[in-house]
Chain A
């Protein structure tokens, strides 16, 4: 279980994340919906322990362990991992090796299965590297395959559907369901109201504040009514409650 209490992060004068609190039990898909610049990715970086994103205040507990001051790799060894919105490019690292990096079993046969699961044909990709010859969508699918190979307890997926072709969208949704099915949790960060519908619960983020948490359908309705387009850039409006 992940417990986030009163997280705050400021950059200069700007409050990037404001007093964010929520809990995610094991096996839950938790959506985080919001427009660009709402603070979704910043919150993801804080939860993963990314350099430069240590919260100014607040506490993060995972399976009863206070991880607020733990490094990224320490969090990963506790079972937390992340897929970035824009995956990294490497040189000299094969796709199959990359997929199995976080897995205790270093099997290329398994890696090939994960490739196929993400609709990447083994024959085309097994000898290639995670380098700049791959498109953004291909790198994204490979990174998601590496997340799945790790069998994380908590996967933070930052816009996992963006840049991915329509035919592979279902593969991404299946990956999220698979993590849930074995008891893992997913934080699904997105600005797409259709994608967030897969979640069990969702939060709406605006100006660094997770100001609504509830059923995805309720959150989506509110999002459609109030956030598209964002009328004032100063949500939540007066009178809105957490």
Chain B
């Protein structure tokens, strides 16, 4: 598992660092766990995965990112992860999750999360996937997240190494007064990969702010659809939806930005670009001597970086 973690650009040394909290799960086996003060993590093995209770106690700022590693190494398997997380008042935590399925032919990885970030708390969740080339993975993360007054949420989902397989992201965030939401999802699909990203941000409280950003590239016969929904109920709330999808070969992409404003003083904007690589970007690089395919590669890698 640690070898695979290293190949996914993880640093195995952090699992020996006493200052860094971690949790290492292979299928439904908890194979490593370390905590730091202020953090309560209670994992429980289930038939097909784990149930995880995760809590940052009030007034605690966890100094170093908490490292999570989830994976299934055999060709077949199921991993179901149920998370209940709470970030206490005035607390802060950053999670770095590596999800590793290097040999998957028929693997299902499902995550169901309920997260609450208390008043003035901050929760940053960064999920990086490392898949093999068979495309036999189903990744289905679903999360319901509530932000109390002044709380902050950052999510960064990245699946750009190896075949996506089937991806179905479904995140819903309910943002309270003066809270801030930044959700970013990046995926690169090829072969017959299927990507579905649904992210919804409800700006419930006064002066809540949110941005949903998606970057997807598809080639071959891959398909992607991105639904980014921003609802503004809070007076003076501000939201923005930003989606870019690059399509190559016979791939297909759909972008659906949905913006709703229910109060006069709120404002939500959106931008969506879908199509082939931008001509001016491409030609700028070609005018420096890069071949067309090299230039496209640099543009896509840059976008998904």
Interface residues of B (CB under 8 A from A): 215, 244, 278-281, 283-292, 295, 298-299, 301-305
User: B residues within 8 A CB of A86?
Assistant: 280
A146 x B302 contact (CB < 8 A): no
What would 7 A/B residue contacts be, using CB atoms closer than 8 Å?
A48-B283, A76-B289, A76-B290, A84-B280, A88-B281, A92-B302, A102-B287
Give Cα A72 to B288, complex, Å: 9
- Would A73 and B304 be within 8 Å (CB), given that A88-B281, A93-B298 are in contact? no
Looking across the interface, which residue of chain B has its beta carbon closest to that of A82?
Answer: B287
* Binding site secondary structure of chain A: loop
| A to B contact number (C-beta, < 8 Å) | 62
Q: Closest 4 A-B residue pairs measured CB to CB?
A: A102-B288, A92-B302, A92-B305, A76-B289
Size band of the A side of the interface?
Answer: 20 to 34
B284 x A84 contact (CB < 8 A): yes
Q: Is A87 an interface residue (CB 8 A)?
A: yes
Give Cα A50 to B279, complex, Å: 9
Kindly provide the distance from the CB of B220 to the nearest chain A CB, expressed in whole angstroms: 22
A101 x B285 contact (CB < 8 A): yes
Give Cα A86 to B302, complex, Å: 20
A92 x B301 contact (CB < 8 A): yes
Give Cα A77 to B285, complex, Å: 12
Q: Is A71 an interface residue (CB 8 A)?
A: yes
- Would A72 and B283 be within 8 Å (CB), given that A88-B278, A150-B288 are in contact? yes
Interface residues of A (CB under 8 A from B): 48, 50-51, 71-73, 76-77, 81-82, 84, 86-93, 101-102, 143, 146, 150
Looking across the interface, which residue of chain B has its beta carbon closest to that of A72?
Answer: B286
User: A residues within 8 A CB of B298?
Assistant: 93
Kindly provide the distance from the CB of B182 to the nearest chain A CB, expressed in whole angstroms: 16
Give Cα A48 to B298, complex, Å: 21
A92 x B284 contact (CB < 8 A): no
Give Cα A150 to B291, complex, Å: 15
User: A residues within 8 A CB of B244?
Assistant: 91
User: B residues within 8 A CB of A51?
Assistant: 279, 283
Looking across the interface, which residue of chain A has its beta carbon closest to that of B303?
Answer: A91
B302 x A48 contact (CB < 8 A): no
Give Cα A143 to B287, complex, Å: 11
User: B residues within 8 A CB of A90?
Assistant: 281, 299, 302
A102 x B280 contact (CB < 8 A): no
- Would A101 and B305 be within 8 Å (CB), given that A72-B283, A84-B280, A88-B280 are in contact? no
Give Cα A81 to B283, complex, Å: 10
A91 x B305 contact (CB < 8 A): yes
A48 x B287 contact (CB < 8 A): yes
Looking across the interface, which residue of chain A has its beta carbon closest to that of B288?
Answer: A102
Looking across the interface, which residue of chain A has its beta carbon closest to that of B186?
Answer: A92
User: A residues within 8 A CB of B278?
Assistant: 88
B303 x A76 contact (CB < 8 A): no
Looking across the interface, which residue of chain A has its beta carbon closest to that of B285?
Answer: A101
Give Cα A77 to B244, complex, Å: 31
- Would A88 and B292 be within 8 Å (CB), given that A51-B279, A93-B298, A93-B302 are in contact? no
Give Cα A14 to B6, complex, Å: 60
Q: Which residue of B279, B281, B288, B295 is within 8 Å of A81 (Cβ)?
A: B288
A92 x B279 contact (CB < 8 A): no
Kindly provide the distance from the CB of A20 to the nearest chain B CB, expressed in whole angstroms: 20
With A73-B292, A90-B302, A92-B302 already in contact, 15 other A-B pairs whose C-beta atoms are closer than 8 Å = A50-B283, A51-B283, A72-B286, A72-B287, A73-B286, A73-B289, A73-B295, A76-B286, A76-B289, A82-B287, A84-B280, A91-B215, A92-B301, A92-B303, A93-B298
Looking across the interface, which residue of chain A has its beta carbon closest to that of B279?
Answer: A51
Give Cα A134 to B177, complex, Å: 32
Interface centre among B244, B290, B301 (most CB of A within 10 A): B290
User: A residues within 8 A CB of B299?
Assistant: 90
B284 x A73 contact (CB < 8 A): no
B290 x A101 contact (CB < 8 A): yes
Kindly provide the distance from the CB of B281 to the nearest chain A CB, expressed in whole angstroms: 5
Give Cα A81 to B287, complex, Å: 5
Kindly provide the distance from the CB of B92 to the nearest chain A CB, expressed in whole angstroms: 24
User: A residues within 8 A CB of B288?
Assistant: 76, 81, 101-102, 146, 150
Give Cα A122 to B63, complex, Å: 31
User: A residues within 8 A CB of B285?
Assistant: 101
User: B residues within 8 A CB of A81?
Assistant: 287-289
User: A residues within 8 A CB of B302?
Assistant: 90-93
Give Cα A51 to B284, complex, Å: 12
Give Cα A146 to B288, complex, Å: 8
User: B residues within 8 A CB of A102?
Assistant: 287-290
Q: Which residue of B286, B289, B290, B304 is within 8 Å of A92 (Cβ)?
A: B304
